[in-house]
Amino acid sequence: MVLEYVADIMSVYIQDIRGKTNTEISNKFASHIGTLIGNYIGPGRTILIGRDATNASQMIKRSITSGLMSAGINVVDFGIAPLPLINYSKKAYNAQVVITVSESHLRGEDVNIKIISSHEIPLEQRHAQKVSWDKIGDLRYVNEGENTYQHDVLENAAPEIKNKNFLVVIDCAQGKGISFIPEIMDTLECETVYIGCSDNLLKRSYPEPSPTRLSLISDLVFAAGADLGVYLDNDQDHIIFINEKGDIIRDQEATGIFTHFMLNENPKSTIVSSVVASLALDDIVKKQGGRLIKTSIKHVLKEISDHKAIFGADEPGMYVFPQFQSCFDGIYALVMMLGILAKKDVPLSKLVHKVPPYNRTVFTIPCENEKKMNVLDQFQADYSSKYEISRADGIRVDLKDSFILIRPSRFEPLIRAYIESKSEDKLHKLTESVKRKIEGISQNRC
């Protein structure tokens, strides 16, 4: 799979707005955001929009649509549809922006608005300009995007998959992708067990992949003797893999597997990841003679397109294969993983063993939003004289065979800490040291 790039490849930005429905994100707020976006790209342009299956998302999507139309934007509404499908349809509609609305993975009362565009759109509160009554944008409802997306996913699938007759367990989290995922899996001659794919919205109770939910998938994989288990979120841009033994594959392990395969196919190419990425990724890229770019979470897509990377990743479970599209795509990642398993002709557990092992812990410390920078500045002052520091996203301190990453949460009054080390003993010592340091700074400054 040697990749080719077109000359006019553009930067891609993804922006998130998340808050409590009907209070922090009201209809008025959503409509205003729509108008601001419309003002930025200009009247007469086209924007694609879609949502997940929740009532809150339906309401907020309609308000955003009204705001877009009031700014003279022509809106193509995909209704309930996964983010990868909507984004893949941009070229067909000559669209400048994609917007999706979905339930937050963290809390059911929160709604998440995602904006994907070729420029970072300024969304600060300001007066929004509305067009005259005769220049209001058009609204068009469509549902034909599935066939093109499905066809092209299959066109890019490894032909070896059909020879393996994989047994796969898939949890769709009530996502709309279930309407065409069975057709994809059937065409690939996979036997598939589906859970969480009912259209009965009253039974939605899994806004995020909880340990209980993942344990259910693991049990089913092991009991059925399946080759693979996956959890696709309600947007279908996130995916979690479970191996044939029922073990959950960590994000850094899946990233390592994809990176190893892509660099084998495309030697000396560029990989992009967020700063959260494991040191295992550094080891793999270095060993295979590639180039690794680490960036902030919100700039992963931009860096992939700017540097013509062959693969990109972010946590949790977000993977980009730009030979297909410059967007996080869990459905395509599933097909890619099946292709790797088929070509390597080994179980997923064996592929994981080829990823250099690192121990990791992640925890959070409460901190008021306006005081988060104090914590970051103190960490930089304490470590910058002795160690290499990155401020691409928070503070990352790279030590020998270890790293410490301190990041302010984008949506909650929290500081997130990621610590990784080859040694379990060193991981424990670093964890205790960092906790004491953050708690000490928090008590004095937060």
Q: What is the pLDDT of residue 65?
A: 98
- Reduce the DSSP state of residue 253 to 3 states and report it: helix
Q: Of all residues in the chain, what percent carry a pLDDT higher than 90? A: 66
Query: How far apart (Å, rounded) are the C-alpha atoms in residues 182 and 14?
Result: 29
Q: What is the pLDDT of residue 442?
A: 63
Give me the torsion for CA of 39, 91, 152, 9, rounded to 10°: -90
169-184 pLDDT, tens digit each:
998 876 555 668 999 9
Q: Is 63 exposed, middle or buried (0-12, 13-18, 19+ CB in 10 A)?
A: buried
Tokens of 393: 């996203």
Q: Which residue has the tokens 């992640």?
A: 362
Q: Which residues contact 275 (CB under 8 A, 6 or more apart)?
A: 294, 295, 296, 297, 390, 392, 393, 394, 396, 405, 407
Query: How far apart (Å, rounded) are the C-alpha atoms in residues 135 and 126?
Result: 22
What is the mean pLDDT of the segment spanning 204-219? Answer: 75
Single out the residue of 420, 398, 416 nearest to residue 407, CA to CA. 416
Query: How far apart (Å, rounded) are the C-alpha atoms in residues 35 and 28?
Result: 11
Q: Using only the alpha carbons of the chain, give its radius of gyration.
A: 22
The domains of the chain, with CATH numbers, are 13-143 (3.40.120.10), 148-352 (3.40.120.10), 359-445 (3.30.310.50)
Is residue 207 scored above 60 in pLDDT?
A: no
133-173 pLDDT, tens digit each:
999 999 999 977 788 999 999 999 999 999 999 999 998 87
Tokens of 431: 């964890």
pTM of the complete model: 0.90
Q: How confident is the model at residue 208 (pLDDT cuts 50, 70, 90)?
A: low
Q: Which residues contact 172 (CB under 8 A, 6 or more apart)?
A: 178, 181, 194, 196, 197, 232, 236
Query: How far apart (Å, rounded) are the C-alpha atoms in residues 193 and 162?
Result: 17
Asked if 285 and 259 count as a contact pair (C-beta separation under 8 A), the reply is yes
Least confident of 49-53, 81-85, 205-209: 205-209
Tokens of 96: 């400048």
Between 191 and 413, the higher pLDDT residue: 191
Would you say the C-alpha torsion 157, 160, 165, 167 has a positive or negative sign? Answer: negative
Single out the residue of 153, 200, 198, 204 nearest to residue 179, CA to CA. 198
Q: How confident is the model at residue 10 (pLDDT cuts 50, 70, 90)?
A: low
Q: Which residue has the tokens 């013509």?
A: 308
- Reduce the DSSP state of residue 107 to 3 states and report it: coil
Q: What is the pLDDT of residue 265?
A: 94
Give me the torsion for CA of 61, 22, 124, 48, rounded to 10°: -10
Least confident of 123-132, 270-279, 326-335: 123-132
Between 373 and 72, the higher pLDDT residue: 72
Between 360 and 373, the higher pLDDT residue: 360
- DSSP strand pairing (167-171 vs 191-195): parallel
Is residue 204 scored above 60 in pLDDT?
A: no
What is the mean pLDDT of the segment spanning 277-295? Answer: 95
Between 107 and 344, the higher pLDDT residue: 344
Tokens of 57: 């998302």
